[in-house]
Amino acid sequence: MSEKNQGERDQRPLTPPDQTLVPPSPDAVAPPPVWGPPPPAPNDSLWHRVAAFIVLIAVVAAAAGAGIGWSLARAVNTRQVAQSTAQPESPITQVTPSPGGSSNSASTEAVAAKVIPAIVDINTTLGNGQAAGTGMLISSTGEILTNDHVVKGSSSITVTVQGRSQPYSAHVVGVDVSQDVAVIQIDDSVSGLPTVKFANSSSLQVGDSVVAIGNALGQGGTPHATQGHITALNQTITASEGRANSETLSGMVQSDALIYEGDSGGALVNSSGQVIGMITAGQAQGFRTAASDVGYAVAANTAVNVANRIRAHEQSAEITYGQVGYLGVSVSGSASTSGAVVVGVQSGSPAASAGITAGSVITRIGGTAVTSADSLGAAIKSHQAGEQVSVTWTASGGATHTATVTLGAVNP
């Protein structure tokens, strides 16, 4: 995520929407169908701290200004990374979908029971706030597949595994921003974890029965499951982060299984409990609703392909490995100002330590001129976390300053 306007987080509307974009309201949370305890309606203060630009994307941001101070992670990383010396994991294999994909004979409970042990809750720290999402275990030693937007810009990641009493810290292995796919790894030495089974998604058909499973509303506990059907295939959507940043995702699987915020990175499975997609985005239907029965998932074939590339440590301009640098400012652009106007500074950040304050205009990072808010993010992204760089800014009083800062580290 870029050094950008305060409050613009990863609640991403689909464009063009059919409805007016409105923040979700606790007054009209749709009752979850079929199975599982209903997600409790979020309290008013939490939802009013969520960025208001969403139709629905399945992540809960629990604090205003959570986006303050995190460096660009959405832009494609053009730096090549050294080939890892670690032994690559065996590629994820996919199975032929079990027959009867359109059958409703299997109950939602029975389908979900096959998958839930391998579904994890993901909680992240974002500046002064938190966010929540979902992930799927893809190895018995703690590798997890999730959306890039679930973990991007976070300074820490905590994973809760079903049946394990203690949460685990985790780190990003790699992300492909263009496909909204990330692989993260539990830090502790773990073994024997259950894993999801992926089906080949090339044979999916409209009408096939599906179940959506995820961390609805970021509440944790037993994952929530809802039943529906595939309503369209090979869809292209535009998902945006706030007003300025958007990305186009293609080849998406559309379904009418009800999804909630917090379900991003969760599993869309067939009637045999085989994963055919990764829940990524939803479109709210109607005024003031916290749920969506128009959902989109990254097709399993795409998600598995990207995950295998990351696990093999493939060098690619599309894949970012490890953490990226951050300065610690929230900025905006101005037609009358050449540079990035600082509207907020993260407490304890490199920017705060350097003496940068709100109202300052950043004009240079290292040897790169900063001409806008977007170019600031790109300039920071060109440097690694922990690297020392010079920053030049003009204070609100007109004085020009230059200081050397050590960039912090956040997940891409």
264 as an active site residue: the answer is yes
263 as an active site residue: the answer is no
149 as an active site residue: the answer is yes
Residues ≥6 apart with Cβ < 8 Å to 309: 176, 316, 319
Helix, coil or strand: residue 34:
coil
Question: Hey, how many other C-beta atoms are within 10 angstroms of the C-beta on 317?
Answer: 11
Buried b (16+ CB within 10 A) or exposed e, 138-159: bbebbbbbbbbbbbbbbbebbb
Question: Tokens at residue 367, please?
Answer: 């040897």
**Pairing mode, strands 60-61 and 209-214:** unpaired
H helix intervals, 279-323: 300-311
* Residue 376, beta-bridge partner list: none
Active-site residue (options: 154, 240, 264, 292)? 264
Please state, in angstroms and rounded to a whole number, the distance separating the CA atoms of residues 198 and 202.
12
Active-site residue (options: 2, 71, 149, 208)? 149
Active-site residue (options: 148, 180, 208, 374)? 180
Buried b (16+ CB within 10 A) or exposed e, 98-121: eeebeeeebebeebbebbbbbbbb
Helix, coil or strand: residue 354:
helix
Name the residues annotated as catalytic.
Answer: 149, 180, 264
